Structures are given as C-alpha cells and as structure tokens.
Amino acid sequence: MLSVDAAMPSVAPVPSFRRADVDDERWRDWRWQLGHMLTTADELATVVDLTPAERTGLAASAKLFRVGITPYYASLMDPAHASCPIRMQAIPNVAEADVRDEELRDPLGEDTHNPAPSVVHKYPDRVLFLVVDRCGIYCRHCNRRRLVGGDEPPTTADLEAGLAYIAQTRRIRDVLLSGGDPLLLSTRRLDYLLGRLRAIPHVETIRIGTRLPVVCPMRIDDELCTALAKHHPVFVNTHFNHVVELTPEARAGCERLVDAGIPVGNQTVLLRGINSSTQSLRALMRGLLRSRIKPYYLFQGDTVIGTDHLRTSVEDAMRLYESLRGWMNGMAVPMLVLDAPGGGGKVPIVPSFIESIDRETVVVRTYRGERISYPQPRQRDCSVAYDAVAFAGEPVDDDREGSAEMLDGPG
C-alpha cells in the first residue's frame, strides 16, 4: 500500500533566476534572457520578497496586462523594499484594476491615424512603424498595452503593406520603428527592414524605439551595431526611468551604439513615487549624459487605463522641471511634454519664464527667481530674402495629417 506521501504528485521546483544561480554564459546570452522572462509570483519570489500587495497584483494581472521581466532586469530589484523603482515599474499593482472614466484604451489616438497595417501617421512628415508586438518587459505604465504582449504579431503581409504606404507617401521623411520592441527581431530581419526603408528616396532618417538597452543590454552586441551602422542615419531612442537602471552593462550597451555612430536619446516617463523627485531626476539625467545618452523627452504620464496611481499632477511636473532647468548642464535637461489625449500630439508644458512682454521690453524670471529686463529690437521684419534662392524650385511642406490620406489620397 502506498503511503500518503508517495501518492502525492511531485511538483517540479521553480528554478532560481538569481544572478548567482545562473552561469555567465547563459546570463550574457540575450536570447536566454528573453526566453526565460519571469512571469509568475513563484518565479519572482526567487528574486525578491514579494509583499501581499504585489502578490495580489500578480494574481490580478491576467485580467489587467501581462507580466514579463528579464532575469537581468529582475536582478536590479531591491529584494527588501517594495518601493524599489524597478519593482514598481515591473510588478503589477492591484490599483491597475481601478480604471477611471477619463482613462483611455488608446490614449494617443493611434488607432484613428492608421492608414495602413502597422503604420501610424499622426504627424505630417513622420510615421510610426509597428514591426513587432512583444517587449523585453511589460512596463506597468505602458501606453500601448492594447497592442503589445498579445498573440497577433504583424504578419509579413502587414509589414509589406506598411512599407508600400511609406514608399508611396512622399512627405514621409522620418520612420520610427516601434512596437513592441524592434530589437526583439533577429538581427537579420531587422537589417532587412532597415534596408527596405533606406531604399526609399524620401526617407531621410530612421529611428528605433527600444527598451532593451535598459532591460536586456546583452542584445546590444557587435553584430547588431554593425547591422544598424549600414543604414545611417539611424538613431536609437531608449527608455531609462531611474538611475538604478544605468548599470555598467546598460551603459556599455549604449556606448557601443554611440561608438558605431548611432546617436542614442532617452525618453523618460515621469512616474509618481518612482522618479518624481528632484534628486532622482537630476541623478538620472546626469548619469545619462555621462553615458553619452542625450536626455530627449520627459513625458507627463499618458491617460492610459489603469495608470492613475502612477501619474503626477501637471503642476508637480512643471515644478520638477524648474528644478532641472538652469541648475544643470542644459544638455542634461530633456523637454517636458504632455502627449495630448486622443491624438493631439506632443505639447510642451514647460513653465513660462516670461513675466511680461511688450514692444520695448521683456521681463524674464531666471532659474534663481530674479527678474531681469531684456530690450526688444526696433526692427521686426523676420523674412529671409535668400530663401527664394536657397530653396528655388522646392515644394512647400505638405502638412496634412496622416489620416488625410483616406480623403485626399497619398502624396
């Protein structure tokens, strides 16, 4: 007769994803990192001491937004403090289920500016090309959670239709590859897409939006940098939100890109309780610049569903911006913007330093609060006579919105 213990089914132990428990060869392999993302409470419990609130959030995540964290990024978590900025960005909070009426599934109005599969054409001269639907992390503040992490990646036909739209729409000068994360594509596939775009005469610049330098810096290898450098001018915009993310590995990955002639910019999202302090933002921006990464945008949080608990007020955003401007190297100060809900585009929300203005004098307030007068010039004509020579025969910019193609046809 079997004992009670012998009759119980065996349960396989959960593998440990702590850095100390993984050999160097696997740890440094970006494919291993992406193939072993932590998705469950049991897996995360091998890395941090989960709080009851985190366990509740993880249990609810199936109905909210998927969880996925590379072992590398999980290794940056403070195991003892739930207020750790890495934990707060990556581990779901039950507050995500508290959706306010004004929160939007598509906060940036991308689905109404979608003239071709995988293409968002919201600004006149540039498009967003969504080439993949997966990420190396599913950020809790993600503004594209309706699209990423699903099981319906763009098909080859979708991508071909997108390339055809870009090729026939001559006013498109800039293409931003995004998704999901384009660097999840194989280097060969990415090289192919970049080559197709570079072959379009009117496409002047190509950008890649990626968070892999932050969450899986192993991906930024020599093979990738060589492939990207074939298609200059190529720019990479990444997404560091806290100085803790600027590890030696992450810095080395970004510097490898820069050494290959690929400028790297950073877009930070202002997140309440994560980086919403002067000390945190200054440390991040200075650290980025030391790593040859240009702080580009500081975003006010988008009104995406389930993220109210992570957003700061606009007043706080402007106060924090004032604690950067003038107090730091100007190259370390990003532009503070709000992406207007519904597709209105990026709007600077920089506090005004102009106290008064008239025809003779402008009174400005310095970063230290002093009032200083600036005399206005007597002449006001700003026309440039040589424009008629320098730009002879060139057509004026076509400033239609992308959605205008539906009505007017491509141009």
- Domain range annotation of the chain: 12-97, 110-348
Residue 104: CA atoms inside 13 Å, Cβ hemisphere, count? 16
pLDDT tens sequence across 336-371: 988 888 777 788 888 889 999 999 999 999 989 999
Residue 317 identity:
A
Instruction: Collect all residues with Cβ–Cβ distance below 8 Å to 389 and sequence separation of at least 6.
Output: none
DSSP for 49-104, please give it.
Answer: ---HHHHHHHHHGGGT----B-HHHHTTS-TT-TT-HHHHHHS--GGGG---TT-B
To the question of domain 110-348 being in CATH 1.10.3720.10, the answer is: no
% of the chain residues with pLDDT over 70: 90
pLDDT tier for residue 106 given thresholds of 50, 70 and 90: low
Strands (E) located in 197-311: 205-209, 234-238, 264-269, 294-299
Q: What's this model's pTM, rounded to 2 decimal places? A: 0.88
Q: In the predicted model, what is the mean pLDDT of residues 82-86?
A: 94
